Amino acid sequence: MSVALITAGSAGLGAAASRVFAKNGYRVIVNYASNEERANKLLEELPPLSTLPRDSGSEHFAVIKADLGSRDDINRLIKETVDRFGRLDVVFSNGGWTRFRGMESIDDNTHEEEWDRAFNMNVKSHLWLMQAAKKHLDETEGAFITTASIAGVVSSGSSLAYSATKAAQIHLMKGLAIMAAPKIRVNTVSPGLLLTEWGNRFSDEQKEGHLQKTKLKRYVTVEDVAEQVLTFAKSKSTTGVNVVMDSGFIL
C-alpha cells in the first residue's frame, strides 16, 4: 500500500491533500510544525475517508512533528516515516514561509533575516527533503511534488523575498527532476491566491483586486490544487513540470 508524506499537512492545502490521498487509498503521514491539536483533529478525519481495509484502523495514518527549517528534523521526519510504514511513494513538499511586506517599496523588502528565512524555507527545505527521501523514492519509483506560487512566475505576492525564492524553487524543481531521473518524478504546483489562513492575511481589498484580475472570476480552491498533486503522484510520464493554477490571473 502506497505511502504519502504531506509536509505542512495539518491545515490549508496540506490538509486538503491529506484528505485527497486518504480517499484514494494511500497511507498518509501528516507533518506539522507546532499545532498538535490541529494535526490530531485531522488525523481523526482520515480513517473514515479511506478506501483501505478498516481492520487496522488508524494504522494507515500518522502525524509527525518536524521543523522544516531544520535539516536534522527533515532527516528525522523521513526516517520516522519509513520506520513507521516501511516505504515511501510520494512526498508532497508543501512547506513555505513569508512575511507580508507588499511589492511597492524596496526599503520594506530589504530585511536580510527575512531573505535568509525565506530562502531556507522556500528553497533549501525542499532540497534537503528530496535528498533525505531520494533512496526511498528510488525504491518505489515515486514522486516528489512541491508547492510553489504564481508569485514565482510573475512578480507578485506578499513580498519580494517570497516572490524571488518561489521563482528559485521552481528552478530547483527542474534541476531535481533531472538529477532524480529516471526513477523519480519531480513536479510543482503554483497556485494563485488560496483563501487559507495564510491567504486571508491579505486585506479584503487585496483579495477582491486579485479576484477581479482572474479571467474565471473565482479563487483557486485547495481541493482543486490537491487533486493536481494527486495527478502528479499517479502520473508515470510527467516530470519537470510546473502547473500554474490561478484562474487565469497571469493571462
Three-state DSSP state, 237: coil
Asked if pLDDT for residue 171 goes beyond 70, the answer is yes
Angstrom distance (rounded) from CA 145 to CA 134: 13
User: What's the mean pLDDT in 202-231?
Assistant: 93
Residue 193 in domain? yes
Tell whether the model's pLDDT for residue 196 goes beyond 90.
Answer: no
Which whole number is the average pLDDT over 182-188? 98
In which band, very low, low, confident or very high, does the pLDDT at 202 lie, cut at 50, 70 and 90?
confident
Of 50-59, 91-100, 216-225, least confident by mean pLDDT is 50-59
List the one residue out of 134, 142, 144 whose CA is nearest residue 186.
144
What whole-number distance in Å separates Cα of residue 27 and Cα of residue 102?
Answer: 39
Domain-located, residue 209: no
* Least confident interval from 24-28, 51-55, 82-86, 117-121: 51-55
Q: Are 147 and 13 a contacting pair, CB within 8 Å?
A: yes
Residue 150 counted as domain residue: yes
pTM of the model: 0.94
The CATH number linked to 103 is 3.40.50.720
For the chain, give the percent of residues with pLDDT over 90.
Answer: 85
**Would you say residue 11 lies in a domain?**
yes
pLDDT at 195: 84
Q: Is the pLDDT of residue 58 over 60?
A: no
User: Which is the catalytic residue, given 26, 32, 162, 219?
Assistant: 162
Is 250 within a domain? no
Q: What is the mean pLDDT of the chain?
A: 94
> Is position 216 within any domain?
no
Q: Could you tell me the end-to-end alpha-carbon distance of the chain, in angstroms, rounded to an integer?
A: 40
> Which domain range does residue 102 map to?
3-201+221-245
Domain tally, the chain: 1
- pLDDT score at 51: 87
Q: pLDDT of 93-114, one tens digit each?
A: 999 998 889 889 999 999 999 9
Q: Which residue has the cell 527549517?
A: 69
Mean pLDDT of 221-250: 97
Q: How confident is the model at residue 56 (pLDDT cuts 50, 70, 90)?
A: low
Q: Is the pLDDT of residue 207 over 90?
A: no
Catalytic residue check, 32 = no
Asked, for residue 210, whether it belongs to a domain, the answer is: no
Look at residue 69 and tell me whether its pLDDT is greater than 90: yes
Q: Is residue 199's pLDDT more than 80?
A: no
What is the spatial distance between Cα 90 and Cα 137, in angstroms, rounded to a whole number? 7
Which whole-number Å values give the CA distances from 244 to 134, 141, 187, 189, 192, in the listed order? 25, 25, 11, 6, 8
Reading across the β-sheet that carries 143-147, which strands appear in turn? 61-65, 27-32, 3-6, 90-93, 143-147, 185-191, 242-245
Residue predicted with more confidence, 207 or 161: 161
Q: What's the grid cell of residue 195?
A: 483563501
Share of the chain above pLDDT 70, in %: 98
- Domain membership of residue 138 (yes or no) is yes
